[in-house]
């Protein structure tokens, strides 16, 4: 997920009369329900990402539709752009490791530096590969954008690599590079400035270009693959080039910056076009006619609440405290009943305590698993660290994997 630093200025926002905002949001939800919210026409280990990873949001229990306090409002809820103190992202490097990373490193270390064949065919490695799901991700360094005064836009690059035991004695892998461009606006509903109430509606458009290389090998083929590895090996593997364009809508109500409610309708209508090539070489040299398929990125309707109590004399040390609660993907059992998950996996809970505007201590609960993290604001850059769990099955606790995320953000 994402990173935000909420600070509202009632006097700096200009009122716009947008009467159709509520009907537009309702219509969009109906449109998404009618479209069926289907997944892509092509199965992938590494599905397209329409919001980008954030070490802060991961520590706080996932995305929060009512949170609007920094640059991460760009992906949480487009209705939050008016509530954010103007902030520009210059660059970012966020790394993400998922799965039994330490087990893999331990097995390699215990091998005593043997050759690739002896390591890969050892009983400990074969046992680890059974049921394996592991991934690595990198957001940035291109992460340029702006949020504030009702406007939000950004351009980002991200890289993701996934390894999975997709069939008995088979290892599949996917490596994807993605370019995401997004931009939107928040419409402030005119309310007298002296009123403690605030109501906003927002819209964001987004476009995605994504290239994905996929390959599968049996466990017995892995030693030969590693011993004779060369970049040309991947040129003969299947390749998918995906384009997507869509939009999000959102609504947000706030009372005195103490209590906020948010409704985010993400991927209202986000169609995809996938060009599948039998080899990457055929794509690079334009020597092959691709197989085309279409699909829709799944619609996600989420509701959230943020409570930020007034700390009084404690504010000299504790400069901010937030309690966040969300229910994400509310309509999955209607739109995608075959993929619907247990209700507890939709719940996201987060707590954040900030000391002296420098150190943030975070904890959360999402997908039935706990999360924790730290943030260090050093003015020139912000360092965020999180550890959290993800549930790969549709029931709590059946197939959890654990994650580490580290983010280095340059924002002004």
How much is the pLDDT for 81? 94
- Note whether residue 53 is domain-resident: yes
How much is the pLDDT for 313? 86
At residue 337, the 3 state secondary structure works out as helix
Give the C-alpha separation, 321 to 345, whole Å. Answer: 25
- Note whether residue 397 is domain-resident: no
How much is the pLDDT for 100? 80
Give the C-alpha separation, 147 to 6, whole Å. Answer: 11
- Note whether residue 241 is domain-resident: yes
How much is the pLDDT for 120? 62
∠ CA 311-314-65, rounded to 5°: 35
Q: Which of 2-6, 50-54, 268-272 has the lowest mean pLDDT?
A: 2-6
Q: Supply the range of the domain harboring residue 252.
A: 10-310
Give the pLDDT mean for 308-330.
92
Whether omega before 141 lies within 30 degrees of 0, making that bond cis, reads yes
Annotate 164-187 with DSSP letters as a single string.
Answer: EEEETTEEEEEEEEEEEEEEEEEE
How much is the pLDDT for 126? 67
Q: Which of 193, 158, 188, 190 is nearest to 176 (CA)?
A: 158
pLDDT over 90, % of the chain: 61
The answer, yes or no, to whether residue 210 has pLDDT greater than 90, is yes
Pick 284 or 39 by higher pLDDT: 284
The answer, yes or no, to whether residue 127 has pLDDT greater than 60, is yes
Task: Enter the tokens of residue 191.
Answer: 């309310």
How much is the pLDDT for 203? 96
Q: Which of 80-89, 164-173, 275-284, 364-373 has the lowest mean pLDDT?
A: 164-173
Average pLDDT, the chain: 84
At residue 284, the 3 state secondary structure works out as helix
How much is the pLDDT for 110? 65
The answer, yes or no, to whether residue 14 has pLDDT greater than 60, is no
Count, residues in the chain: 412
How much is the pLDDT for 131? 76
Q: Which of 215-224, 288-297, 359-368 has the lowest mean pLDDT?
A: 215-224
| Band of residue 109 on the pLDDT scale cut at 50, 70, 90 | low
Strand 369-377, strand 382-391: pairing: antiparallel
- Note whether residue 297 is domain-resident: yes
The answer, yes or no, to whether residue 38 has pLDDT greater than 50, is no
pTM for the complete prediction? 0.83
Give the C-alpha separation, 252 to 186, whole Å. Answer: 10
- Note whether residue 382 is domain-resident: no
Whether the Cβ atoms of residue 219 and residue 117 lie closer than 8 Å to each other:
no
The answer, yes or no, to whether residue 37 has pLDDT greater than 50, is no
Task: Enter the tokens of residue 208.
Answer: 């995605």
Give the C-alpha separation, 162 to 173, whole Å. Answer: 5
**Tell me: the pLDDT tens digits for 212-259?**
998 888 877 776 766 666 777 778 889 999 999 999 999 999 998 899
Give the pLDDT mean for 125-145.
85
Total domains, the chain: 1
Pick 303 or 193 by higher pLDDT: 303
Give the C-alpha separation, 386 to 261, whole Å. Answer: 25
Give the pLDDT mean for 263-287.
94
How much is the pLDDT for 209? 96
| Band of residue 5 on the pLDDT scale cut at 50, 70, 90 | very low
Q: Which of 15-19, 123-127, 318-322, 406-410 has the lowest mean pLDDT?
A: 15-19
Q: Where are the alpha helices (DSSP H) in 228-346?
A: 280-284, 332-335
Whether the Cβ atoms of residue 214 and residue 172 lie closer than 8 Å to each other:
yes
- Note whether residue 141 is domain-resident: yes
The beta-carbon contacts of 379-382 under 8 Å, at least 24 apart in sequence, are 380/410, 381/408, 381/409, 381/410, 381/411, 382/3, 382/407, 382/408, 382/409, 382/411
| Band of residue 60 on the pLDDT scale cut at 50, 70, 90 | very high
**Tell me: the pLDDT tens digits for 62-71?**
999 999 998 9
Whether the Cβ atoms of residue 135 and residue 160 lie closer than 8 Å to each other:
yes
The answer, yes or no, to whether residue 122 has pLDDT greater than 90, is no
The answer, yes or no, to whether residue 288 has pLDDT greater than 50, is yes
What 8-state DSSP symbol labels residue 6? Answer: B
Give the pLDDT mean for 340-352.
96
At residue 322, the 3 state secondary structure works out as strand
- Note whether residue 47 is domain-resident: yes
How much is the pLDDT for 164? 87
Annotate 294-310 with DSSP letters as a single string.
Answer: EEEPPPEEEEEEEE---
| Band of residue 171 on the pLDDT scale cut at 50, 70, 90 | confident
- Note whether residue 384 is domain-resident: no
Give the C-alpha separation, 136 to 211, whole Å. Answer: 16
């Amino acid at each position: 997920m994402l990173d935000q630093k909420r600070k509202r200025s009632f006097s700096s926002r200009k009122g716009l009369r947008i009467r159709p905002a509520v009907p537009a949001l309702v219509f969009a939800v109906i449109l998404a329900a009618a479209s069926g919210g289907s997944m892509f026409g092509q199965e992938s280990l590494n599905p397209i990402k329409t919001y980008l990873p954030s070490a802060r949001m991961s520590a706080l229990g996932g995305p929060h539709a009512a949170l609007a306090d920094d640059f991460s409002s760009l992906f949480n809820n487009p209705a939050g752009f008016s509530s954010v103190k103007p902030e520009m992202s210059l660059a970012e490097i966020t790394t993400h490791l998922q799965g039994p990373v330490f087990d893999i490193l331990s097995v390699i270390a215990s091998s005593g530096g043997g050759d690739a064949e002896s390591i890969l065919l050892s009983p400990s490695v074969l046992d680890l590969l059974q049921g394996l799901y592991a991934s690595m991700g990198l957001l940035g360094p291109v992460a340029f954008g702006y949020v504030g005064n009702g406007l939000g836009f950004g351009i980002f690059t991200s890289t993701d690599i996934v390894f999975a035991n997709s069939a008995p004695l088979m290892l599949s892998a996917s490596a994807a590079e993605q370019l995401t461009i997004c931009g939107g606006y928040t419409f402030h509903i005119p309310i007298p400035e002296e009123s403690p109430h605030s109501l906003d509606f927002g819209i964001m458009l987004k476009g995605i270009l994504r290239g994905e290389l996929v390959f599968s090998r049996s466990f017995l083929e892995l030693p030969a693959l590693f011993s004779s590895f060369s970049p040309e090996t991947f040129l003969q593997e299947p390749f998918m080039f995906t384009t997507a364009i869509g939009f999000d809508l959102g609504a947000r109500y706030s009372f005195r910056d103490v209590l906020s409610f948010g409704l985010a309708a993400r991927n209202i209508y986000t169609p995809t076009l996938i060009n599948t090539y039998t080899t990457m070489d055929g794509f690079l040299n334009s020597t092959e006619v691709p197989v085309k398929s279409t699909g829709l990125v799944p619609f996600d309707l989420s509701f959230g609440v943020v409570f930020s109590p007034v700390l009084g004399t404690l504010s000299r040390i504790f400069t901010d405290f937030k309690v966040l609660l969300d229910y994400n993907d509310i309509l999955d059992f209607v739109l995608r009943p075959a993929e619907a998950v247990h209700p507890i996996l939709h719940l996201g809970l987060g707590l954040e305590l900030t000391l002296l505007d420098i150190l943030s201590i975070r904890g959360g609960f999402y997908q039935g698993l706990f999360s924790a993290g730290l943030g260090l604001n050093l003015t020139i850059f912000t360092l965020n660290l999180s550890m959290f769990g993800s549930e790969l099955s549709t029931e709590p606790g059946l197939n959890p994997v654990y994650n580490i995320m580290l983010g280095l953000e340059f924002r002004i």
